Amino acid sequence: MDSKTPQGERIAKVIARAGHASRREAERMIAAGRVAVNGKVIERAALNVTGKDRITIDGRPIDAPEPPRMWLYHKPPGRVTTARDEQGRATIFDDLPEEMPRVMSVGRLDLNSEGLLLLTNDGAIKRRLELPATGWVRRYRVRVKGRPDDATFEPLRKGLVVDGVRFQPMTVTLDRQQGANAWVTVAIREGKNREIRRAMEAVGLVVNRLIRVSYGPFQLGQLKPGAVEEIRPRLLRDQLGLAPEAEKPPGRKKPARRRRARRG
């Protein structure tokens, strides 16, 4: 039996890297008979291709895959973190410059949350950074209604179960009382749906402002609400352990300099 691993990459991944669709969307395109390799329509996504193969979607050749890139984005409150919203609400993608490539968010922030959101053109990077096993800490500044003391947060530090969902231990620091509200710094490593809001409710507090200030080594810093800034390729390579070739393939132009989003 031939045990050799097929050369190249899965075709759905190549299509996603070229910016045409997510990997799942690419798999649906293949199932619909829209994708051909070397002139032959393929029926299954379980196919490896190399740079020598000619791939077309609806008869049009795809471009060469872009190098992995990532951006910092300061999400304002009132934006949803989806490409489309059934209720017609504004999305984060409405803010982005038209010249930016197709990007995906690394994780989400809910409608009323704000602060740092990472954007990437690479599905593999997105999935890697969303895994709890990656171990990157997400840090938040949280304003709660009430007058908690340090002991209030002990259940969060030990880990708790809310509506059958287990939340891992959080790092929680009471910063200051400001009138009827208190400011708290919270650090988590997972990020389940509305985790911090639900955990605070479990100890009798209501979150009325939540700002993500960092995601792993990447900081919100002085980035203004609605603004987007590209992470320098060398920094991205160093933090993610990417090979130098992945930073800038031969013959491709350098990534664009940082851009600011249009405000609407």
**Residue 10 clears pLDDT 50, i.e. is over it:** yes
Cα-only R_g, the chain: 21
Query: Is residue 77 included in any domain, yes or no?
Result: yes
Q: Are residues 187 and 227 in the same domain?
A: no
**Which domain does 41 fall in, by range?**
9-61
What CATH number is given to the structural domain containing 157? 3.30.70.1560
Instruction: Judge if 110 and 151 occupy the same domain.
Output: no
Pair 55, 160 in one domain: no
Catalytic residue chosen out of the listed positions 53, 94, 110, 175: 110
Which amino acid is it at 75?
A: K
Distance CA 134, CA 149 (A): 32
Structure tokens at 111: 């409608």
Same domain, 202 and 142: yes
Same domain flag for 117 and 231: yes
Closest CA to 50 of 25, 80, 13, 83: 13
115 and 223 co-located in one domain: yes
Q: Are 118 and 138 in contact (CB under 8 A)?
A: no
pTM for the predicted model, two decimal places:
0.71
Q: Is the pLDDT of residue 245 over 70?
A: no
Last-in-domain residue among 39, 61, 83? 61
**Based on the domain organization, do 13 and 40 belong to the same domain?**
yes
pLDDT tens digits along 164-217: 999 999 999 999 999 999 999 999 988 788 999 999 999 999 999 999 999 999
Structural domain count of the chain: 3
Is the residue at 263 inside a domain? no
Give how far the C-alpha of residue 77 lies from the chain's centroid of Cα atoms, to the nearest Å. 17
Q: Do 7 and 43 touch, CB atoms closer than 8 A?
A: no
Known active-site residue 150: no
- Do both 104 and 235 map to the same domain? yes
Query: Does residue 259 belong to any structural domain of this protein?
Result: no
